[in-house]
Structure 1
Amino acid sequence: MDLEKIEKLNELKEKGMITQEEYDKAKTKALGGDVPATASVDMDNRTYSMLMHFAQLCGYLLLMCGWIAPLVMWLIRRDDPYINEQGKVVFNWIISSFIYFMICFVLWLIFIGIFLTIALGVISIIFTVIGAIRAKDGVIQNYPMSISFFTVDPSVGAPAE
């Protein structure tokens, strides 16, 4: 047990230089315990990633905002490995859904494209919500039906064992 280290951590916490979560992780580590698996991905990163997924829904309000907002969010915090992987997941789906929309648009000539476009809009909302929930849980996984334009490494957000 390293009492000096714990006292120093306590001083940093009281001065507001570290958060309670950072204090708890460092204290657990100093006492020789394992850091909880849920701490492997910072909660702030999870929330930010969830919002990046939800930002796709802006496209239903303003044309082109559904890919501009997530792109800006991704580029701002791309240096974080977890957010970078989630950005790849989001843009794999954005590019894939654009390709699917173009196919549906061509099929409008035989009227089936109208129904396929509606179905694409519905599954886009569903996949976005599922992706946001998974991002909040610390899981990195491509959306179903997503074409892999960017290689996604699901182990980045995996809990340390």
Structure 2
Amino acid sequence: MDLDQIEKLNDLKQKGLITEEEYQQAKARILGAQSSTDQPHTILQTNNYDYALVLHLTQFCSWLVPFLGLLVPLIMWQSKKDDPYINEQGKVVMNWIFSSMIYFVVSLLLCLIVVGFFLIAILFVCSIVFTVMGAMDANKGVIKNYPLTIKFFDVKETPRVISPQN
């Protein structure tokens, strides 16, 4: 309850552990009031859409270090898995990463009959295009599996909203 928190703050102030200014700021936060002393403190906040955009684009980390494009999105997804939007976007990214790994292995095997080289090139282009498309969708709040994705995780897709033309 708010009263208990304010009493604890008052105890801290009386013991000299926090200043009067810190006490007033914390009390204002607890009560939900805006204090004029809060103005200098700017907190950088990102919304889920920005985080999801970055989550998709971190797949390109594998261009720097092999398997980093798997680890970074996995860590980002798991760190914010409690957020339903980020959880769904993480599933989308992981579905594509696992799918593209399978497609790559199959393409490598098909390199024995030359067609695999073309498939690897196509997979490379698709990975770039699909990742950028997924990032743009995520930044708009759309949850959509990439094309050609094997669905390892069940994703609750949202429809793309098409704006009316004037």
TM-score higher than 0.5 here? Answer: yes
| 1:80 paired residue number | 83
TM-score (norm 1): 0.71
What does residue 128 of structure 1 align with?
A: 131
- Within 1, Cα distance between the matches of 2:128 and 2:108? 19
Instruction: Give the 3 Å change call, closer, same or farther, for CA 69–111 of structure 1 in structure 2.
Output: same
Q: Which residue of structure 2 lines up, in the alignment, with residue 32 of structure 1? A: none
Structure 1: which 4+ aligned runs deviate by more than 6 Å?
none
Q: 1:65 aligns with which of 63, 68, 79?
A: 68
Unmatched runs of 5 consecutive residues or more in structure 1: 1-7, 20-41
- Which runs of no fewer than 5 residues in structure 2 stay unpaired? 1-30, 162-166
TM-score (normalised: structure 2):
0.69
Once the two structures are aligned, what percentage of the paired residues are identical?
Answer: 46
How far off its partner does 1:153 sit? 1.1
- Residue by residue over 1:26-81, the C-alpha shift from the partner in whole angstroms, topping out at 9 and shown as x without a partner, is xxxxxxxxxxxxxxxx9611000000000001112210011001001001111100
The structure whose Rg is larger is 2
Structure 2 residue matching 1:142: 3-state secondary structure: coil
Q: What is the RMSD computed on CA atoms of the aligned residues?
A: 2.5
**Quick one: distance in 2 between partners of 1:12 and 1:81?**
32
**Greater relative contact order (CA < 8 Å, ≥ 6 in sequence):** 1
- Number of residue equivalences: 127
> By percentage of residues, which structure has more helix?
1
